[in-house]
A = this chain, B = another copy of it.
Amino acid sequence: MKKPTILVTNDDGIFAPGIRKLIEIMRSYGRVVVVAPDKGQSGTSHAITITTPLRLMKQREEKDYVEYAANGTPVDCVKLGVKVALKEKPDLLVSGINHGSNATINVIYSGTMAAVIEGCMSRIPSVGFSLDDYSQDADFEPSEPFIRKIIEEVLDKGIPDSTCLNVNIPANHDGPIKGIKTCRQGVGYWDERFDHRTDPRKREYFWLTGEYVSMDSLDDTDEWALRNNYVAVVPVKFDLTDYEAMDHFKNLDDNA
């Protein structure tokens, strides 16, 4: 059987320990092409670069392996990976391992998951992995058997069209991970404020800060799974239509 071609990216940048671990795992499954941002791009969501030129810099090449850094966002990296580095669709796209959770509403802000959604929009089976630990020296080892299980399932059975996977892995502070749970996106919001500071030139500036507030106590969410030491798998789609709300607005149509 032909080895699968796997495109790897992330949003923490090509030098992050998380992508290094993911590359190591993926090289045991096939030919790996890495196209990742040349610097951290956390919180860039589905941003694309349209007003400045994009550059692709080859970092390393070995048998069944090539690695590029790009001066763009994670979504730029997917587009450059498919159209320039590979010149064809890969069999699989993986993104991560993100330093920090992309569960609940964080999926909206995440560059790691935007890359996955971009792959999905191009009908590439795509999976994002995030560890619930923001630190640079997070321990990615306990994630490996779960990442392998999910990758083997996806390589074997595929993913339905228009769907991709948001996988969040607990940080393993409370004993071994208990298993995998397929979940929905938990409901909640960031209760934010701005740190108001003054720079040495006496001009004011702001840093965003805040805490996540859960509005969801049910046990079928990604948040519940993470808190209870399970790996959370949420199938994600890119049709944002709120079908249930459509009727509410139908009276706008009266001049049709």
Q: How large is the interface on A (under 10, 10 to 19, 20 to 34, 35 or more residues)?
A: 35 or more
Is A179 in contact with chain B by the CB < 8 A criterion? Answer: yes
The answer to whether B45 touches A250 (Cβ under 8 A) is no
For residue A239, which residue of chain B has the nearest CB?
B185
Is A163 in contact with chain B by the CB < 8 A criterion? Answer: yes
Per a CB cutoff under 8 Å, which of B54, B84, B121 touches A108? B121
Residues of B contacting A150 in the complex (Cβ-Cβ under 8 angstroms): 252
Per a CB cutoff under 8 Å, which of B84, B197, B199, B245 touches A194? B84
**In the bound complex, what is the Cα–Cα distance between A189 and B179 (angstroms)?**
36
**In the bound complex, what is the Cα–Cα distance between A65 and B55 (angstroms)?**
43
Residues of B contacting A192 in the complex (Cβ-Cβ under 8 angstroms): 79, 83
The answer to whether A256 touches B230 (Cβ under 8 A) is yes
The answer to whether B179 touches A256 (Cβ under 8 A) is yes
Per a CB cutoff under 8 Å, which of B207, B230, B235, B239 touches A53? B207
**In the bound complex, what is the Cα–Cα distance between A149 and B108 (angstroms)?**
30
Is A248 in contact with chain B by the CB < 8 A criterion? Answer: yes
Is A117 in contact with chain B by the CB < 8 A criterion? Answer: yes
Residues of B contacting A194 in the complex (Cβ-Cβ under 8 angstroms): 54, 79-80, 83-84
Question: Told that A43-B47, A108-B117 touch, could you supply 7 new A-B pairs with CB distance under 8 A?
Answer: A44-B45, A45-B46, A83-B192, A153-B252, A236-B242, A237-B240, A240-B240
Q: Which residues on A are within 8 Å of B, measured CB to CB? A: 40, 42-51, 53-56, 73, 75-76, 79-80, 83-84, 105, 107-109, 114, 117, 121-122, 149-150, 153, 159-160, 162-163, 165-166, 178-182, 184-185, 187, 189, 192-194, 196-197, 199, 203-208, 230, 233-243, 245-246, 248-256
Closest 6 pairs between A and B when the two form their complex, measured CB to CB? A45-B46, A53-B205, A237-B242, A235-B245, A179-B255, A235-B242
